[in-house]
Amino acid sequence: MKAVVQRVTRASVTVGGEQISAIGRGICVLLGISLEDTQKELEHMVRKILNLRVFEDESGKHWSKSVMDKQYEILCVSQFTLQCVLKGNKPDFHLAMPTEQAEGFYNSFLEQLRKTYSPELIKDGKFGAYMQVHIQNDGPVTIELESPAPGTATSDPKQLSKLEKQQQRKEKTRAKGPSESSKERNTPRKEDRSASSGAEGDVSSEREP
């Protein structure tokens, strides 16, 4: 799932010459749904959008507050063209979720946004319609977001830290094994008289793993 988030002073959607949706200060989200997206990617994107710090705080410090912190509005517009890949100079959209599936998925996305935030502050366009989207970008500030591809490692810093520690322990274990074996091979062995007669078997073979 991909999203282009723009900080705006105002934004609106017009269909057939009629304005169907509008917001004041807040963010405009253009959302591209992938063929492989699931509920997991949906929840990830909702969380990122709502917590993205693109606004200043009361003291004027930039990049300090999210749209939720400021209680600003959100205008969402479904845009399958974000899933474009180029074949030469021609756009190809085979990675985008088919329309019949994407509409339900997009509605679930909106529902999750409203459930997590304030329903009255979430506006959207008209799915599948030919729209004119009017965006007055503030800054300009435009942020691209992309959910982790299904099956890839998590991007959460805490989880990455755990994975890194696990990997370090594995590397230490691997490094420790050969060094001990090397020490053992280099340690002079006392002669075992019984070994020469074969009574206790081959000592060297017993020491091998």
Nearest residue to 127 (alpha-carbon basis) of 62, 76, 181: 76
- CA–CA distance from 204 to each of 79, 178, 179, 208 (Å)? 70, 17, 18, 7
pLDDT for res 149: 76
Q: What pLDDT is stored for residue 196 in this prediction?
A: 41
2 - beta bridge partners?
32, 146
| Helix or strand run (H / E) with residue 87 | strand 85-87
Tokens standing for residue 10: 């105002």
User: What residues have CB less than 8 Å from 90, skipping those under 6 apart?
Assistant: none
d(CA 56, CA 71): 13
Of residues 190 and 165, more confidence is placed in 165
Token duo for residue 25: 């200060």
pLDDT digits (tens, 9 = 90+) for 28-84: 999 999 999 999 999 999 999 999 999 999 999 999 999 999 999 999 999 999 999
Q: Which fold has domain 1-146?
A: D-tyrosyl-trna(Tyr) Deacylase; Chain: A; (3.50.80)
Segments making up each domain of the chain, as ranges: 1-146
